[in-house]
Structure 1
Amino acid sequence: MIGAGLRQQSKEEIIVVQLEENPKLLRDSLRPLIYGGGDESVSRRQLMKLNLSNLRFLRPRKSFISQTRTMTHNTDANPDPSKVVDDLLCSERQQRDKGIEETVDAAPLSLGSPGRLLGIDTRVERAWEHWKKLGRPKYIVAPMVDNSELPFRLLCQKYGAQAAYTPMLHSRIFSETEKYRNQEFTTCKEDRPLFVQFCANDPDTLLEAAKRVEPYCDYVDINLGCPQRIARRGNYGAFLMDNLPLVKSLVEKLAQNLTVPVSCKIRIFPNLKDTLNYAKMLEDAGCSLLAVHGRTRDEKDGKKFRADWSAIKEVRNALRIPVLANGNVRCIEDVDDCIEETGVEGVLSAETLLENPAVFAGFRTAEWAKDSEEEEGYVDGGLDQGDLVVEYLKLCEKHPVPWRMIRSHVHKMLGDWFRVHPQVREQLNAQNILTFEFLYGLVDQLKELGGRVPLYKKRKVDTLQESPQKG
């Protein structure tokens, strides 16, 4: 646990950080400390001491260091820059430190949130009017920490996604820290419809964060479904299911004070009755759209536990607002089956999109094409994951994001290729300092090695069928 490797010396005000077995979890856990602010973080005047020998996921923050009165002391007097660059943006945008307002066209404000001091009938009517105005999107990119960032959202949009969520944003850090806002939330006029998702456990802090993004999105979403240990420690996400009065206050605060609708993303309770009561409470509090992940808080492994579409169907039938489903999506046919079986308005996809961002365009990876009962009906679609990586990198050059996000996407999208050529994966793992030149070269190398792994599409059925032979 991180607590075992983290201690504070009151006199020297030095924080010692050690690498644990899960470096990504460590980085996520340390993010509040690095960005500063709030009860859970250290004072900005406190000092930070990083053991950088193995910790390449973190870098000293200029905004943090510049406000300390004593120079930060590192265990390595001359740390290797290659160890600390994965949190840097992939281009010069991080040097400008520009505010969102300078880079995004503001969205026209709506007539008010459907939850603003209105009766239930009027709120439901407005919730549907807003959803219909957006085109009633069916294919939606789910929120994914460090993975549903702007370039990836735009890539998925090119291949059929009709709406998307941002990664989960920490409401307190977002409201307090400009650098966090500028690095973790970027958008553009093409990036619509857009859900901006926050985790929170304080209504006023959540509202302050939401006010900063409401001109640039179509929904402000509250994360009520994160089941990870960091959410337990931070008292947010699915662990707010133990404090429904607090959840209600979060929704009411936004619904009564924003000009855009409030949405929520939840997991189900083990008991259906509890799930339905939960969903109805959210609707009554002012939620205008509900996304339901059909797994419980304890069912973290999507490969081990199937999402319960029947529970999602019951929620859909019990509510009057639009409902979305999340879980069990491997291909476009799964999306259509889910909508038909549950009656929801749309379906979110997460892990499947990371491997294959073209899912919503009808492409399948080799694994799912071969598992299909119609295996002979799938052919090379003329697209592969190497092509998608190149498109993604070009979007990153246009819309810079931290290298850690790019590294993660390259690993996910090229996973099938790396299984054929594991030595190329090792080259990526050994590359501490990423560059676009290196990554483009990596894709070229994989294609030159042969063994291309295509994405598959369903064979088009000829309109002219061969006539049966006459006897």
Structure 2
Amino acid sequence: MLKKAGCQLLTVHGHTKEQKGPLSGAASWEHIKAVRKAVAIPVFANGNIQSLQDVESCIQDTGVQGVISAEGNLHNPALFEGWSPAVWELAEEYLDIMREHPCPLSYVRAHLFKLWHHMLQAHQQLREELAKVKTLEGIAAVSQELKMRCQEEISRQEGAKPAGDLPFHWICQPYVQLGPREGSKEKAGVRSKRALEEEECGKEVLSKNKQKKQLRNPPTRPSTPL
């Protein structure tokens, strides 16, 4: 149907509609492969991309013509370059871009929550400050403080090896979300992606649909009864 309607390239995200936010889990490359075999137009794959090696494996396993990434790329914007730089390098580069091309502060905060995710787990106070700060320079100050904390830890752990499978948390790296759990989200103690975003980004966050609605219908001043 999409092809007949004029679709020239199809991107397939290998999740069911229930698999979203904290319940996303692993994507099914087998289903992406099935779609690739079923259509004659180019197909791009989305899901389970956490490194450049995953890109190569996905293309080999599914036969798709291209790969895109969302979560993996947000946590490590250098993913498609095949390396994992220090978080503050990309955070500073991003903030420089935002000074030149301003955007809503909630967008900036959301991106930095992704970049600094692992470091913020170890520094809850700075996590709270990042959620509450009201200016771009305030956000930059929190980011600078996180950089200093990283460098202090690096100096203390020089020559040490990271514990477990997780690299040092000042390195850009993916965040692996847990898969679906039995029972309701409330029983499992898991909040929706929307709730997590609101907590991390403050009360400024609006859904894309609400933002578009506000642009179409700006709020008017309520009339005062005579």
Q: TM-score range by the shorter chain?
A: 0.5 to 0.7
1:384 to 86, 104, 107: 86
Q: Quick check: 2:115–2:172 contact (8 Å CA) kept in 1?
A: no
Aligned residue in 2 for 1:395:
97
Number of the residue aligned with 2:28: 308
Distance in 2 between the 1:301 and 1:402 partners?
A: 22
**1:188-227 equivalent positions in 2, closer than 5 A:** none
DSSP-derived class of the 1:307 partner: coil
Match of 1:454 in 2: 171
Q: Which has the higher helix share?
A: 2
Q: Secondary structure in 2 aligned to 1:316?
A: helix
Contact 1:420 1:451 in 2 (8 A): no
1:348 aligns with 2:79: no
TM-score of the two chains, using structure 2 as the length reference: 0.63
Deviation above 6 Å: which 4+ runs of structure 1? none
Q: Do the aligned partners of 2:76 and 2:115 also contact (CA within 8 Å) in 1? A: yes
User: Out of 111, 116, 123, which is 1:421 matched to?
Assistant: 123
* 1:286 counterpart residue number: 6
Instruction: Name the residue aligned to 1:363.
Output: 83
Report matched runs for 1:45-56 at 5 Å.
none
Letter in 1 for 2:57: D
Deviation at 1:322, TM superposition (A): 0.8
**Aligned 8 A contact 1:283 1:321 in 2:** yes
Q: Which amino acid aligns with 1:417?
A: M
Which structure shows the higher strand fraction? 1
Task: Rate the CA distance shift 1:355–1:293 in 2: closer, same or farther, 3 A.
Answer: same
Which residue matches 1:434?
135
Report Cα offsets for 1:98-139 as digits up to 9, x if no partner.
xxxxxxxxxxxxxxxxxxxxxxxxxxxxxxxxxxxxxxxxxx
Percent identical pairs in the alignment equals: 40
1 CA distance for matches of 2:66 and 2:116?
Answer: 28
Tell me how far apart the structure 2 counterparts of residues 352 and 442 of structure 1 sit (CA, whole Å): 23
**SS of 1:285's equivalent?**
coil
Deviation at 1:387, TM superposition (A): 1.3
Tell me which of the two structures has the higher relative contact order, counting C-alpha pairs closer than 8 angstroms and 6 or more residues apart: 2
Is contact 1:290-1:321 (8 Å) kept? Answer: yes
Rg larger for: 1
The offset of 1:303, in angstroms, is 5.5
Gaps of 5+ in 2: 155-169, 174-226
- Partner letter of residue 349 of structure 1? S
Taking the aligned partners of 2:146 and 2:15, their CA distance within structure 1 comes to 37
Task: Please provide the CA RMSD for this pair.
Answer: 1.9
**Letter matched to residue 434 of structure 1:** T
Partner of 1:427, secondary structure, is helix
TM-score, with length taken from structure 1: 0.32
- Contact 2:13/2:27, CA 8 A, preserved across alignment: yes
How far is the alpha carbon of 1:420 from its aligned partner?
2.4
In structure 2, give the amino acid aligned to 1:310.
E
